[in-house]
Amino acid sequence: MAAKRRSWHCPGLWPAPRGPAKAAVAVPLVLMVLVAGCDPLSSSHASAGPGAHSGSVALPAQPPQVCGSQVLNSPYSYDGAAGRFKSGAPGLPTYGKPGSDFPDATAGVVLPAGPHSYASYELDPKTVYYLLPGVHVGALQADTGDAFVGGLADGVRSVLSGNYSGYSTAIDSNYSDGDQLGVTIEYLTIEKFQPNGNAAAINNGSNTDWTIRNDTITLNVPGAGLIAGAGNTLRQDCMTLNGQYGFQSSDVGTWGKDSLTGGPYDVTVEDNEISYNDTCDFEGLMTNSAIGWSGYDPVPAQYRNPRCGKVVGDGNQGGFKLWETNGVTIKDNYIHNNWGPGIWADTDNANTTYVGNVITDNDGQAIIEEISYNFSIVDNYLADNGWAVGLGNPGFPTPAIYVSESGSTTRFGGIPACKESSCAGQGSYPDQSVIKGNTMVDNGGGVLLWQNSDRHCASGFDSVCTLVDGGSAGPFTLASCHSHLPAASIDTSTYAGVVGGSPAEDWWDGCLWQTANVSVTGNTIDFDRADVPYCDHDDWSDCGANGIFSEYSVAPPYNSPGGWVILSQLTFFQNDKWSGNVYNGPSTFYAWNQGNGDNPVTWAEWTGSVAAGDKCSGSEEHESGGCAGPFGQDAGSVYRSKPVATAPSPALNLVP
C-alpha cells in the first residue's frame, strides 16, 4: 500500500484564495498545540516510497520529531527539599567521577521553584544545579563548568520562565567575568524571556564549549532562543515560536573567535527540531498585487506574539542564522514552518556541512549560503519551502537552495580548513562546494547560483571584507579595497583579474565575493505547479526556477569594460557545474543575466555545448542583455516535463 506523503502545514501561511481555489488551504492549529509539538497531517499526495519513482535518490536518515516527544523528558525525578546534594542521591544527577553524569563537577545543589535569580557570585563553578519540577521565574549567571538540569515528577517539568517580566536572558554569564566555558543546560523548558532583536535568551555572551540538549526553548521575544558560541553543541532541542530565530551563531565577546573568520568555530547542531520562529516578523511585510497582497504580514495573527513590541523588519530571521563561523555541522535536524529561511549562513562563514536534514514549509528558502565559503549540502530532504517569499518577490527566484556570492574560491590559495584544534572533526571543502544527493519537492525553485556584480568590499553594503589570502590579516581589507578598486581591471580573454597597483595584487578578484567552484550533482528535483499555491505566470513568474546568473554592474570597476563582465565571468569561467540531476516536472532555467530576455532558457539551451556558442560575448548580446547560450550545464541529467504522480516523502521518525 502506498504511504501517504505528509503535509506539514500546521500554521495557516496563506490567505483564503480569491475566486476559484488554486490550492488547499490548511486550517491553522492553536498556539498551545504547537508548543507541545505539531502532528503532521496526511495530504492527497501519495508516495510509494523513495525508490518507487523513476530517477529517485535515497532519502537521508531522518531526524526525530523532538517537540512534544519523550526525548525531552528528564530522567531525574527528585521533588524534595532544596539544598546541597551528594552524587548518588535518588532521582538526582550523579557527578564527580568517571562514568557519572557530570564527571568534572565537584558539587550539587537543588534550586527551589518560584521567583529566584542568581548572579554569578551567588553560584559556584563546576556545580550541578538541579531545578526542581515547577516554574522558576528569574535568570541565572553561569560559571565555568556549571550544569543546569531539569527534572520531571508526576508530570510536572522544570520550567525556567522570564514570565514576560523584563528578564532579557535566562542563562548567560556575567560578561565582565569573561568567557565561562563548559556549561551544560538540559531537560529544561526555557520560555518567555525578552531579549532584544539580534540578542538571545540563552548564552547571549557567546560563551564557549556550551552544551544545550533536550530542552524546549520557546516564546522568547523579540530576539532569538539562544546564541551558539565556539565549541557549542545543540542536540535534541525543541526551538519553537521564538521572536526572531530559534538560534544564531555569532560572537559578541573577545573570546571564541576563529583566527580567519573572526566568529565562532566548531559548532555542532544535531537532531533538533526548529520550527515556527520569527513570530515577531523581522521578515517584514509583503506585496503581490496579483493575489491581493498589500502590506501582507506572513505571520498569521494567531502566531504573532503580543509581547514582541514594535519590530522593524530588517531581513534577519528564520530558523537560524550563522555569522562568520568556521567549521559548523548541521546534521539530522527537522527544520520547518519558520517565517524566513530555514537555514541562513550569512557573511564570511567557512566550511559548513549540511547533511541529513529535513527542511520543509519554511516561507523562505530552505538553505541560503551568502558571501561565504566552502560548504557541503548533501542528502537533505527539502519540500514546500519558499512559497510566501516567492510570492512576495516574484521578480527574483526563490529556490530551495540559494547560493549568493559563495563557493570554494581557489584563487589566492583558497580558503583553508578551520585551523582551531577543536575543529579536527569538522568537514572542509577548499576545492569545491557541493550540492549533492538532495531530494527537493515542490519548493519555490530548485538551486540558484547568484552573484551580485556590485557586492564587493568597497561597496558600502558590508562591514567586512573577503576571506581570501588570509582575510583581515592579508592584503584585502575594507580600506585597501576602497583605495585600489578604482584602478582594478580584468582580462576578458581569460576573465582573470589583472595584477596591478602597489602593492601589486589582483584587486578585481580579491575584493569580490564570488560564486565559484560549486558542483550541483545527483539531486532529484520534483516539481508540480499544481502543488504550489499561485504558481502561475501572472502571480509568480519564476516559480520553479533554477539557474546561474548575475545582473549588469553599474559601479566601477565592475562595470568596465561593460556591465556584462561579471555575468560572463560567473556563468562561464568560475567552474560552477550542474550534472547528473533528475528533474521531474516543469522546472525552468535562468542564465547569465537577471534581465535576460531569453530567460527562462530551454533545456536544449541550458544543456547545449558551450563550444557551440559564443559565451554571450557578442556586442548585440552585451547591448541587449539577452543571451540564449548554450550554457553547457546538466551533463548526464534527466529532464521530464511531466511531474511524477508520487513524489518522495521523508517519513519522519516520530519519537514516542
Nearest-angstrom CA–CA distance, 354 and 325: 14
Residue 497 within a domain: yes
How many residues make up the chain in this entry?
656
Return d(Cα 42, Cα 47) in angstroms, integer: 11
Element (H, E) at 33: helix 31-36
Does residue 241 fall inside a structural domain?
Answer: no
Residue 126 lies in a domain: no
* Cα torsion through 546, 412, 507, 616, rounded to 10: -30
User: Which positions ≥6 away from 478 have C-beta within 8 Å?
Assistant: 457, 458, 463, 464, 465
Half-sphere exposure of 553 (CA within 13 A, CB side): 24
Q: What confidence score (pLDDT) does residue 646 get?
A: 80
CA 208 to chain centre: 21
Q: Before 399, cis peptide (omega within 30)?
A: no
Indicate whether 415 belongs to any domain. no
Q: What is the pLDDT of residue 49?
A: 28
pLDDT tens readout for residues 152-190 = 999 999 999 999 999 999 999 998 999 999 999 999 999
Cell numbers 530548485 correspond to what residue? Answer: 446
Residue 493 lies in a domain: yes
Q: Which range is least confidently modeled, 53-62, 191-200, 506-515, 618-627?
A: 53-62
The Cα–Cα gap between 584 and 645 comes to 10
State yes or no: pLDDT of 31 exceeds 50: no
Question: Is the pLDDT reported for residue 497 higher than 50?
Answer: yes
Nearest CA among 53, 14, 62 for reference residue 526: 53
Give the structural domain span for 476: 463-512
- Find out whether 393 and 370 touch, Cβ atoms under 8 Å: no
Longest dimension (CA), the chain: 83
pLDDT of 7 > 80? The answer is no
pLDDT in tens, 433-446: 999 999 999 999 99
Sign of CA dihedral 493, 496, 500, 504: negative
pLDDT at 653: 54
Q: What dihedral angle (degrees, nearest 10) is formed by the CA atoms of 571, 573, 579, 585?
A: 0
The pLDDT value given to residue 2: 31
Mean per-residue pLDDT, 566-583: 98
Evaluated on CA atoms 393, 526, 440, 43, the torsion sign reads: positive
- Number of neighbouring beta carbons within 10 Å of residue 503: 10
Residue pLDDT, tens place only, 97-139: 999 999 999 999 999 999 999 999 999 999 999 999 999 999 9
CB 85 within 8 A of CB 130: yes
The domain tally of the chain equals 1
- Is 566 within the bounds of a domain? no
Residue 232 included in any domain: no
Q: Is residue 486 part of a domain?
A: yes
| 633, 606 contact by CB (below 8 A) | yes
pTM: 0.91
Q: How far apart (Å, rounded) are the C-alpha atoms in residues 164 and 137? A: 10
Looking at residue 651, its pLDDT comes to 58
Which residues are bridge partners to 211 per DSSP? 184, 233
Q: With contact defined as beta carbons under 8 Å apart, do 205 and 239 qualify?
A: no
pLDDT tens-digit series, residues 270-291? 999 999 999 999 999 999 999 9
Using pLDDT thresholds of 50, 70 and 90, give the confidence band for residue 63.
Answer: low
